[in-house]
Amino acid sequence: MSTDLFDLTGRHVLVTGGARGIGRMIAESLLRRGVTVYLSTRKEDAASQAARELGGLGSVHAFAVDIGTEAGCRELIEKVSEHTDQLHGLINNAGATWGATFDDFPDAAWDKVLSVNVKTPFTLAKAARPLLEAAAQGSSNGGPARIINIGSIDGLLVPNYENYSYSAAKAAIHHLTRHMAATLAPSVLVNAIAPGPFPTKMMEWVLDERGDEITGSNPLKRLGRTEDMDGLVTFLLSDASCYITGSVIPLDGGLTSTASAALFAEEA
């Protein structure tokens, strides 16, 4: 192991949904830390643009693959395998959401959101396991490989929005993280990050309508920043977290951990 607990130089990490939003933040941060990054997105033009824009920061490979199917997950891992025989990290970031009122919420919203947010991370982890195990057994960096599932605070608290399948899916990926951690230890550590509000395309409409309210209700009075995500992802991928698995870590400025106290204070 490196004498620097947080050194990620030379590692290989796959980030799904890495062309925009939180996935893009993660991909860019890892490249700056000397990681070879493999990212996936559904559209060819988005993959080409991401590779072009991020290429100046380091070694990046962008693939246009629909990982909403088992065949797509296998295809992505096959493409990654053309460039490396090991993965030190898999970051399951790609996701989908759906909003509608309770009475109008369609069955299709459950099929799509649960599939992408829960089934895909499991299927992709299964397909990537040989590469992850190979990294864990290698001698260059040592230590276990990592899987990081991107959940949400909507899976920890009842959201203020009618996104029923999304909140249920995020609660599910949090528990799936624990289950996978028990199965894949000790060679692969599995943890989850539950982000609060970050300035992403998925959050754009909410921030346009209620941005001041959202930042005002946060104990730190701001949205998440790239460096916030960078710090936690780096920690979870690094040797500093070798004794942590099965954890779901909120990255929300204290929003979830202080929510009840804030509510009671207002009522008092």
Give the integer Cα–Cα distance in Å for 18 and 252: 20
Q: Is the peptide bond before 186 cis (omega within 30 degrees of 0)?
A: yes
DSSP strands (E only) in the chain: 12-16, 36-41, 60-64, 89-92, 145-150, 188-195, 248-251
Residue 91 buriedness (CB in 10 A; 0-12 / 13-18 / 19+):
buried
Active-site residue, selected from the candidate residues 38, 161, 164, 166: 166
Pairing verdict, β 145-150 and 36-41: unpaired
Give the integer Cα–Cα distance in Å for 170 and 155: 5
Give the integer Cα–Cα distance in Å for 44 and 50: 10
Cα torsion angle, 106, 110, 115, 117, sign:
positive
The verdict on whether 166 is a catalytic residue reads yes
Q: Give φ, ψ of 262 to 5 degrees.
A: -65, -40
Instruction: Give the amino acid at 45.
Output: D
Give the integer Cα–Cα distance in Å for 156 and 85: 36
3-class secondary-structure state, position 177: helix
Q: Which residues are catalytic?
A: 166
